[in-house]
């Protein structure tokens, strides 16, 4: 058995097309979606992500602002910049690229972003609403939201299914647990320190892995026919990219995301999609 490849690039292309239409609709009403990305330092992976976001925002004709600060930027400088964009009506979404240099307090930076402009969905207010499954019109972390879109497009059932999430980051693992719970799945959260991990992952109808450890999940750890979502992006010594899931898992799984080309494109597409949503919510405009 060879797993169905869950093509994130194809689905992201569809989402980007809808986002372009919505952007045009907002622009015709006098609102240009505004996205501000703040990057501190010159982390190579972050630089690639920011450049990809900038390129996509440009293609969508957003009001795209990328502010690059030196590695030596102070906490006050970063917070002042966030507060500036909080007050700027032309900016609807603010993203501070992670990781920040070690001398900066990332928690304080996230807390300073206005919740309604927190396009990455990391502010405790937004996370709280997500976990409580209450209210509406609040941003959700882009990678988990993109994963849920992929599962929906590929008709992967979640209600009543066993989901195992390996990885407990605030960016992926924790919000995805909430989204899966809200979709009526039975969810188990595991991580690097979980004992007998293989026994747990083999129970999963849907297995999501976001640890950052190359080839952590092997074929003997996966339930035959399971849907496997690989969020990992690891560069090997020879320069090639690989995920947290070994290639051999494709011979056991029913469906699987490739690395690259799976979750990655969905994260950026969802970021753009959510920026448009924030612009509409903040201005009271309607988009289809």
- Six-digit token string for 69: 């600060």
Q: Tell me the helix, strand and coil percentages in the chain, rounded to 5.
A: 45, 15, 40
30-114 in CATH: which number?
3.40.50.10860
**What one-character DSSP code corresponds to residue 186?**
E
Active-site positions read 53, 97, 120
CATH 3.40.50.10860 segments of the chain: 30-114
Q: CA separation (Å) from 131 to 71, 160, 176, 211, 274?
A: 34, 18, 10, 21, 19
- Residue 168 is labelled as binding a ligand: yes
Whole-number pLDDT of residue 135: 79
- Six-digit token string for 171: 């960016």
Beta carbons of 83 and 112 less than 8 angstroms apart: yes
- Residue 169 is labelled as binding a ligand: yes
- Six-digit token string for 78: 């970063």
Whole-number pLDDT of residue 85: 98
d(CA 12, CA 206): 21
CATH 3.40.50.720 segments of the chain: 142-263
Whole-number pLDDT of residue 47: 86
Whole-number pLDDT of residue 59: 96
**What one-character DSSP code corresponds to residue 203?**
T
- Mention the CATH class of domain 142-263: alpha beta
Per-residue pLDDT of the chain (288 residues; tens, 9 = 90+): 689 999 999 999 999 999 999 999 999 999 999 999 999 999 888 888 899 999 999 999 999 999 999 999 999 999 999 999 999 999 999 999 999 999 999 999 999 999 999 999 999 999 999 999 997 899 999 999 999 999 999 999 999 999 999 999 999 999 999 999 999 999 999 998 899 999 999 999 999 999 999 999 999 999 999 999 999 989 888 888 899 999 999 999 999 999 999 999 999 999 999 999 999 999 999 887
Whole-number pLDDT of residue 1: 67
């Amino acid at each position: 058995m060879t797993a169905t490849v869950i093509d994130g690039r194809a689905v992201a292309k569809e989402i980007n097309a809808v986002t372009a239409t919505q952007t045009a609709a907002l622009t015709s009403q006098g609102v240009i979606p505004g996205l501000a990305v703040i990057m501190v330092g010159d982390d190579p992976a972050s630089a690639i992500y920011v450049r990809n976001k900038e390129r996509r925002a440009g293609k969508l004709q957003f009001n795209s602002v990328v502010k690059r600060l030196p590695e030596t930027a102070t906490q006050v400088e970063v917070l002042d910049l966030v507060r500036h964009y909080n007050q700027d009506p032309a900016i609807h979404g603010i993203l501070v690229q992670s990781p920040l240099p070690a001398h900066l307090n990332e928690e304080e930076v996230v807390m300073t972003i206005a919740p309604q402009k927190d396009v990455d969905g990391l502010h405790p207010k937004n996370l709280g609403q997500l976990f409580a499954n209450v209210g509406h019109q609040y941003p959700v972390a882009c990678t988990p939201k993109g994963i849920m879109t992929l599962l929906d497009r590929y008709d992967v059932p979640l209600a009543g299914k066993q989901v195992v999430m390996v990885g407990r980051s605030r960016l992926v693992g924790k919000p995805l647990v909430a989204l899966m719970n809200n979709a009526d799945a039975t969810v188990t959260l595991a991580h690097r320190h979980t004992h007998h991990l293989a026994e747990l992952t083999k129970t999963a109808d849907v297995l999501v892995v976001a640890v950052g450890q190359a080839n952590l999940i092997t074929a003997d750890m996966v339930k035959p026919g399971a849907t496997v979502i690989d969020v990992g992006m690891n560069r090997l010594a020879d320069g090639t990219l690989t995920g947290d899931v070994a290639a051999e898992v494709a011979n056991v799984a029913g469906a699987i995301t490739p690395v690259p080309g799976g979750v990655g494109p969905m994260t950026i597409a969802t970021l753009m999609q959510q920026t448009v949503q924030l612009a509409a919510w903040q201005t009271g405009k309607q988009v289809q």
